[in-house]
Protein backbone atom coordinates (compact mmCIF):
# COMPACT_ATOMS: atom_id res chain seq x y z
CA UNK A 1 0.00 0.00 0.00
CA UNK A 2 2.74 2.48 0.95
CA UNK A 3 4.57 2.72 -2.35
CA UNK A 4 1.70 4.29 -4.27
CA UNK A 5 -0.22 5.95 -1.44
CA UNK A 6 -0.03 9.53 -0.20
CA UNK A 7 -1.44 11.15 2.93
CA UNK A 8 -2.78 14.66 2.36
CA UNK A 9 -3.42 16.79 5.46
CA UNK A 10 -5.72 19.59 4.40
CA UNK A 11 -5.58 23.14 5.76
CA UNK A 12 -4.70 22.55 9.41
CA UNK A 13 -3.64 26.19 9.65
CA UNK A 14 -3.81 28.68 12.48
CA UNK A 15 -6.25 30.71 10.39
CA UNK A 16 -8.70 27.80 10.66
CA UNK A 17 -7.67 26.25 13.96
CA UNK A 18 -6.68 29.07 16.32
CA UNK A 19 -8.56 31.82 18.10
CA UNK A 20 -8.21 35.06 16.20
CA UNK A 21 -7.76 33.39 12.81
CA UNK A 22 -10.01 33.56 9.78
CA UNK A 23 -12.43 30.84 10.93
CA UNK A 24 -12.87 32.33 14.39
CA UNK A 25 -13.41 35.80 12.93
CA UNK A 26 -16.07 34.29 10.67
CA UNK A 27 -17.89 32.91 13.69
CA UNK A 28 -16.87 29.25 13.37
CA UNK A 29 -16.17 27.07 16.40
CA UNK A 30 -12.45 26.39 16.10
CA UNK A 31 -12.60 23.87 18.94
CA UNK A 32 -14.53 21.63 16.54
CA UNK A 33 -11.83 22.03 13.92
CA UNK A 34 -9.04 21.22 16.35
CA UNK A 35 -10.86 18.23 17.82
CA UNK A 36 -9.32 16.00 15.13
CA UNK A 37 -5.69 16.96 15.80
CA UNK A 38 -4.92 13.81 17.78
CA UNK A 39 -6.29 11.55 15.04
CA UNK A 40 -4.36 13.43 12.37
CA UNK A 41 -1.23 13.05 14.51
CA UNK A 42 -1.87 9.30 14.60
CA UNK A 43 -2.08 9.23 10.81
CA UNK A 44 1.07 11.30 10.44
CA UNK A 45 3.01 9.03 12.79
CA UNK A 46 1.97 5.92 10.89
CA UNK A 47 2.55 7.48 7.46
CA UNK A 48 6.03 8.67 8.40
CA UNK A 49 6.99 5.28 9.79
CA UNK A 50 5.68 3.59 6.65
CA UNK A 51 7.49 6.18 4.50
CA UNK A 52 4.36 7.27 2.69
CA UNK A 53 4.45 10.47 0.71
CA UNK A 54 3.05 13.09 3.11
CA UNK A 55 1.66 16.38 1.81
CA UNK A 56 0.17 19.33 3.65
CA UNK A 57 -2.02 22.06 2.16
CA UNK A 58 -2.61 25.67 3.14
CA UNK A 59 -5.37 27.84 1.74
CA UNK A 60 -4.39 31.45 1.24
CA UNK A 61 -3.57 34.21 -1.16
CA UNK A 62 -0.59 36.22 -2.35
CA UNK A 63 -0.16 39.51 -0.48
CA UNK A 64 -1.68 41.67 -3.22
CA UNK A 65 -4.73 39.35 -3.31
CA UNK A 66 -4.53 39.13 -7.09
CA UNK A 67 -5.41 35.41 -6.91
CA UNK A 68 -8.52 35.98 -4.79
CA UNK A 69 -11.67 36.11 -6.95
CA UNK A 70 -14.03 39.02 -6.22
CA UNK A 71 -16.83 36.60 -5.32
CA UNK A 72 -14.65 34.89 -2.71
CA UNK A 73 -13.63 38.25 -1.28
CA UNK A 74 -17.29 39.29 -1.09
CA UNK A 75 -18.19 36.08 0.76
CA UNK A 76 -15.42 36.66 3.29
CA UNK A 77 -16.58 40.22 3.91
CA UNK A 78 -20.16 39.00 4.38
CA UNK A 79 -18.86 36.45 6.92
CA UNK A 80 -17.12 39.19 8.89
CA UNK A 81 -13.60 38.00 8.11
CA UNK A 82 -12.44 39.90 5.04
CA UNK A 83 -9.52 38.13 3.38
CA UNK A 84 -6.44 40.32 3.70
CA UNK A 85 -7.73 42.27 6.69
CA UNK A 86 -5.50 42.44 9.76
CA UNK A 87 -6.15 40.04 12.61
CA UNK A 88 -4.24 39.01 15.76
CA UNK A 89 -2.01 36.68 13.71
CA UNK A 90 -1.50 38.96 10.72
CA UNK A 91 -3.53 39.43 7.57
CA UNK A 92 -6.24 36.80 7.23
CA UNK A 93 -5.55 34.00 4.73
CA UNK A 94 -2.48 35.72 3.30
CA UNK A 95 0.61 33.69 2.53
CA UNK A 96 3.60 34.40 4.73
CA UNK A 97 1.54 35.56 7.69
CA UNK A 98 1.73 33.73 11.01
CA UNK A 99 -1.93 32.71 10.81
CA UNK A 100 -1.46 31.17 7.39
CA UNK A 101 0.95 28.53 8.63
CA UNK A 102 0.18 25.06 9.94
CA UNK A 103 -0.41 24.60 13.67
CA UNK A 104 2.59 23.50 15.73
CA UNK A 105 1.06 20.15 16.69
CA UNK A 106 1.00 19.05 13.05
CA UNK A 107 4.07 20.87 11.80
CA UNK A 108 5.44 19.35 8.57
CA UNK A 109 8.83 17.69 8.59
CA UNK A 110 11.48 19.40 6.45
CA UNK A 111 11.15 16.79 3.70
CA UNK A 112 7.35 17.04 3.51
CA UNK A 113 5.87 19.21 0.78
CA UNK A 114 3.45 22.01 1.62
CA UNK A 115 1.00 22.91 -1.14
CA UNK A 116 -0.16 26.52 -1.09
CA UNK A 117 -3.54 26.77 -2.77
CA UNK A 118 -5.70 29.80 -3.58
CA UNK A 119 -8.89 27.77 -3.89
CA UNK A 120 -10.76 25.19 -1.88
CA UNK A 121 -9.50 22.17 -3.82
CA UNK A 122 -5.83 21.22 -3.57
CA UNK A 123 -5.39 20.67 -7.32
CA UNK A 124 -6.53 24.10 -8.49
CA UNK A 125 -3.57 26.29 -9.51
CA UNK A 126 -1.05 24.06 -7.69
CA UNK A 127 1.60 21.48 -8.58
CA UNK A 128 -0.18 18.69 -6.69
CA UNK A 129 -1.01 16.61 -9.77
CA UNK A 130 2.60 16.72 -10.99
CA UNK A 131 3.92 15.74 -7.56
CA UNK A 132 1.59 12.76 -7.34
CA UNK A 133 2.45 11.66 -10.86
CA UNK A 134 6.18 11.95 -10.18
CA UNK A 135 5.74 9.57 -7.23
CA UNK A 136 3.40 7.25 -9.17
CA UNK A 137 0.69 7.69 -6.55
CA UNK A 138 -2.69 6.08 -7.19
CA UNK A 139 -4.30 6.20 -3.71
CA UNK A 140 -4.93 9.23 -1.51
CA UNK A 141 -5.72 9.31 2.20
CA UNK A 142 -7.45 12.60 3.01
CA UNK A 143 -7.93 14.33 6.34
CA UNK A 144 -8.19 17.86 7.69
CA UNK A 145 -10.68 20.74 7.55
CA UNK A 146 -13.31 21.41 6.65
CA UNK A 147 -15.03 18.19 5.69
CA UNK A 148 -17.73 19.82 3.59
CA UNK A 149 -15.55 22.38 1.78
CA UNK A 150 -11.81 21.87 1.27
CA UNK A 151 -11.73 18.13 2.01
CA UNK A 152 -14.70 17.46 -0.28
CA UNK A 153 -13.39 19.81 -2.98
CA UNK A 154 -10.03 18.04 -3.01
CA UNK A 155 -11.73 14.63 -2.91
CA UNK A 156 -13.89 15.40 -5.93
CA UNK A 157 -10.97 16.82 -7.89
CA UNK A 158 -8.95 13.70 -7.09
CA UNK A 159 -11.70 11.28 -8.11
CA UNK A 160 -12.09 13.06 -11.45
CA UNK A 161 -8.35 12.53 -11.98
CA UNK A 162 -8.64 8.79 -11.36
CA UNK A 163 -7.29 8.47 -7.82
CA UNK A 164 -8.56 5.95 -5.29
CA UNK A 165 -9.57 8.01 -2.27
CA UNK A 166 -10.02 7.25 1.41
CA UNK A 167 -11.46 9.96 3.65
CA UNK A 168 -10.59 9.50 7.31
CA UNK A 169 -13.89 10.46 8.87
CA UNK A 170 -12.70 11.00 12.44
CA UNK A 171 -9.68 12.98 11.23
CA UNK A 172 -11.90 15.52 9.43
CA UNK A 173 -14.08 18.19 10.97
CA UNK A 174 -16.95 20.19 9.54
CA UNK A 175 -17.60 23.83 10.32
CA UNK A 176 -21.07 22.88 11.52
CA UNK A 177 -21.67 19.55 13.31
CA UNK A 178 -24.86 19.03 11.27
CA UNK A 179 -22.77 18.87 8.09
CA UNK A 180 -20.24 16.26 9.16
CA UNK A 181 -22.18 13.03 8.73
CA UNK A 182 -23.98 14.03 5.51
CA UNK A 183 -20.62 15.03 3.99
CA UNK A 184 -19.25 11.60 4.84
CA UNK A 185 -22.42 9.75 3.79
CA UNK A 186 -22.40 11.14 0.26
CA UNK A 187 -18.95 9.62 -0.37
CA UNK A 188 -20.41 6.12 -0.38
CA UNK A 189 -23.38 6.69 -2.68
CA UNK A 190 -23.56 4.74 -5.93
CA UNK A 191 -21.21 2.07 -4.68
CA UNK A 192 -18.60 4.48 -3.39
CA UNK A 193 -18.70 7.15 -6.07
CA UNK A 194 -16.14 9.27 -4.19
CA UNK A 195 -14.20 6.45 -2.55
CA UNK A 196 -14.53 5.20 1.00
CA UNK A 197 -14.55 6.39 4.60
CA UNK A 198 -12.39 4.88 7.34
CA UNK A 199 -11.25 5.62 10.88
CA UNK A 200 -7.83 6.93 11.82
CA UNK A 201 -7.09 3.84 13.89
CA UNK A 202 -7.94 1.50 11.03
CA UNK A 203 -5.84 3.41 8.50
CA UNK A 204 -2.90 3.74 10.86
CA UNK A 205 -3.00 0.01 11.58
CA UNK A 206 -3.14 -0.74 7.86
CA UNK A 207 -0.27 1.45 6.73
CA UNK A 208 1.98 0.79 9.73
CA UNK A 209 0.90 -2.17 11.87
CA UNK A 210 2.70 -2.22 15.21
CA UNK A 211 3.41 -5.80 16.12
CA UNK A 212 4.95 -5.35 19.55
CA UNK A 213 4.94 -2.82 22.37
CA UNK A 214 8.72 -2.42 22.32
CA UNK A 215 8.58 -1.05 18.76
CA UNK A 216 5.71 1.25 19.64
CA UNK A 217 7.41 2.58 22.77
CA UNK A 218 10.67 3.19 20.92
CA UNK A 219 8.87 5.24 18.29
CA UNK A 220 6.92 7.21 20.87
CA UNK A 221 10.17 8.31 22.43
pLDDT tens for residues 84-110?
999 999 999 999 999 999 999 999 999
Over range 67-78, report the average pLDDT: 98
Listed residue (174, 133, 139) closest to 16, CA to CA: 174
pLDDT band at 41 (very low <50, low <70, confident <90, very high): very high
Rg from Cα positions in the chain: 17
pLDDT band at 214 (very low <50, low <70, confident <90, very high): very low
Catalytic residues: 11, 117, 150
Q: Which CATH class is domain 2-220?
A: alpha beta
Dist. CA 45–CA 62, nearest whole Å: 31
How long, in residues, is the chain? 221
**Average pLDDT taken over every residue of the chain:** 94
Torsion of CA 153, 156, 162, 168, to 10 degrees: 80
CB count, 10 Å around CB of 160? 9
Amino acid sequence: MAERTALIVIDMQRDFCAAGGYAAQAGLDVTRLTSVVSNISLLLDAARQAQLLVLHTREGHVPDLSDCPPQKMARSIHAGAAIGSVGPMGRLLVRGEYGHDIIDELSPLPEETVIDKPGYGAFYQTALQEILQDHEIDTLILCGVTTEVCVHSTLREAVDRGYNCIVVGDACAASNPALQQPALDMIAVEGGIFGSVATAAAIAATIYPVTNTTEKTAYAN
